[in-house]
Every structure is written in C-alpha cells, then in structure tokens.
Amino acid sequence: MASISPVKVAGTVAAVAVSGFLGYAVYFDYMRRHSPEFRKSLRKQHKKLSAVAEANAKAEKEKNAKALRDGFLRIQTEAVPMTPDQQEGYFAEAANQGEQLIAQGEEHYVEAALHFFRALRVYGNPGELLAVYQRVVPPPVLDMIIQLIALSTSTATGAGAGARPTAASLETPAPAPASVEDLDEEKPAKEDAPSPNSASQGSGAEWEKVNQEAQE
C-alpha cells in the first residue's frame, strides 16, 4: 500500500483552511452589507471591547500609582547621602539603573521612575535635571517622576517638617481589570486616548554632562 506524502497532506490541510477562511470572509462581508442586525451586533461588540480596553487601562494606571506610592514610602525611609562623594556615587548609580530599567521595557517603568527620583533628591539643581529628564526619558516615565515630585511636595507641606507619610494615608485600592461580561452592553464607550509615543533615549553625552555638573 502506497504511503501518503506528508507534503500532500500539508497541502490539503492548507487548502481546506484557506477555503474556510475565504468562505467566512465572504459570509462576513455579505452580512455586514445586508443585515442591519448583524451591523448592530458588530457595533455593540466594538463598544464592549473598547470599554474593556479603557477599563483595563484605568486599572493599570491605578496599579502603577499604587506602586509609585509604595516606592515613595520606601525612598522616604532611605538615608540621603551627605558628602559630595557619596552624593555623586548615589546619583550615578540611580540614574544608571533608571536607564537600564527603561531599556528592559514598559513593565519596568515604575522602578525606573523611582530611581530617577532618587537621583533628583541629591542633584544640586533639580529643575535643571528635570529638564534633562524631559528630553531623555519616555513620557510615561516622566509623568511618574512628576507624580513622585507631587507626593514629595504634598508630604513636605502637609505633614510638617520631618514627618513621614503612612501607607494608609497614601494607599488606595486598585480596581480589578474589567471583563466583557461586567460591562453594560448599552453603555457608550469613550474615545480611546492615544498612547504616548516613546521618547528617544538620552545620549551618553547628555548624562555625562549631568554627571559632571553633579560633581560640582
């Protein structure tokens, strides 16, 4: 009995798959053109998926905000270097780790922002360093750094000199990601916000200049 060639089997399977896909595409196009109910169903599904994406983006934002607050509390317990040599080493290490974390991807942006905030604590001219951050870090990381600065400012003005914020005063529960079933089918979805463009990474010369100024 002659054996069936694997190539022929693969070709037959591929042909069936392509035929099935083309058949569904023709059916989908026909229903979209001729069935009002089908179009209505498509619009509902699109609205539900958009709402899920928006809810999950909000949940991710809340999760990052909580991680920033927790990280801020940790930083508040860390001793600030006092001597110029200690401050120089502290700054260089924090800035370097922040750059490395950015290079590892968006899931490390929170920790990167915390390291850049550490560097900001010991830099002689914070406004100047923040201007450098605006040029060399991605917009989401810059936004997190600004949130940390706001936390630091509110702590200094609201809690009194030398006071530390507590976890209870800063923490808010993060909402769970939404599912399609959790959303009202008739609830209109808001327009998706554009995702921020990735900023170009800072050049070595840029950071070298900052490091030199930190030593002065």
Q: What is the CATH number of the domain that holds 111?
A: 1.20.960.10
Q: How far is CA 103 from CA 117, 208, 209, in A?
A: 17, 18, 21
Other Cβ atoms within 10 Å of 195 Cβ, number: 9
Q: What are the residues whose beta carbons fall under 8 Å from the beta carbon of 73, sequence distance 6 or more?
A: 164, 165, 167, 170
The answer to whether residue 32 sits within a structural domain is no
- The CA distance from 94 to 118, in Å, is 6
Q: How far is CA 117 from CA 64, 71, 144, 171, 194, in A?
A: 15, 10, 9, 19, 26
Q: What is the 3-state secondary structure (H, E, C) of 30-52?
A: HHHHHCHHHHHHHHHHHHHHHHH
The answer to whether residue 43 sits within a structural domain is no
Q: What are the residues whose beta carbons fall under 8 Å from the beta carbon of 194, sequence distance 6 or more?
A: none
The answer to whether residue 72 sits within a structural domain is yes
What residue numbers bound the domain in which 91 lies?
56-156
Total domains in the chain come to 1
The answer to whether residue 48 sits within a structural domain is no
The answer to whether residue 63 sits within a structural domain is yes
Buried b (16+ CB within 10 A) or exposed e, 6-45: eeeeeeeeeeeeeeeeeeeeeeeeeeeeeeeeeeeeeeee
The answer to whether residue 209 sits within a structural domain is no
- The CA distance from 65 to 71, in Å, is 10
Q: Which pTM does this prediction carry?
A: 0.57
The answer to whether residue 84 sits within a structural domain is yes
Query: What local confidence, expressed as pLDDT, does residue 9 receive?
Result: 61
Q: What are the residues whose beta carbons fall under 8 Å from the beta carbon of 76, sequence distance 6 or more?
A: 155, 164, 165
Query: What local confidence, expressed as pLDDT, does residue 138 receive?
Result: 95
The answer to whether residue 117 sits within a structural domain is yes
Please state which of the ranges 71-85, 89-103, 182-196 shows the lowest mean pLDDT.
182-196
Q: Which residue has the tokens 């994406």?
A: 53
Tens-place pLDDT, residues 146-197: 999 999 888 776 554 444 444 444 444 444 444 444 444 444 444 443 343 3
Per-residue confidence band for 7, with pLDDT thresholds at 50, 70 and 90? low
Q: What are the residues whose beta carbons fall under 8 Å from the beta carbon of 135, sequence distance 6 or more?
A: 199, 202, 206
Tens-place pLDDT, residues 165-179: 444 444 444 444 444
DSSP letter at 77 equals T
